[in-house]
Amino acid sequence: MAAFYLLADETVQNQQQQDCRLIVEISAPDGADNQRLHKAAEIAIKEKFGTALTLKPITKQAASHYLEVDPVPDHGALNLTTDNVQLIWHLARIM
């Protein structure tokens, strides 16, 4: 199982109307088609947040850095495919 990370190129507002960074973590089986999962993630995020966002790949270290800034980010999970590939999203406030 391997994880890869994506960052929305635009800010997203949380329920308190605060500007946040959207960080997506996808845990995929070894050998999975990451490009297909990346596209599926953009579609799932559009359905969840109601707006099309471009998601750009980032490193695990960069994702951790964004998440360290906000000690309690909003988060949730979505299934991307029939293979039960899970997407975990985080909304880290911009401080």
**Helix (H) / strand (E) containing 30:** none
Alpha carbon distance 46, 64 (integer Å): 23
Q: Which two tokens stand for residue 24?
A: 């997506």
pLDDT of 46 > 70? The answer is: yes
Q: In this structure, what DSSP letter does residue 82 have?
A: T
Single-letter code of the amino acid located at 68: E
pLDDT of 45 > 80? The answer is: yes
DSSP 47-72: HHHSS---EEEE-HHHHHHHHHHSSS
Among 14-23, 28-37, 38-47, whose mean pLDDT is lowest?
28-37
What is the domain partition of the chain in residue ranges?
2-93
Q: How confident is the model at residue 82 (pLDDT cuts 50, 70, 90)?
A: low
| pTM for the full predicted model | 0.90
Tally DSSP H helices, then E strands, for the chain: 2, 6
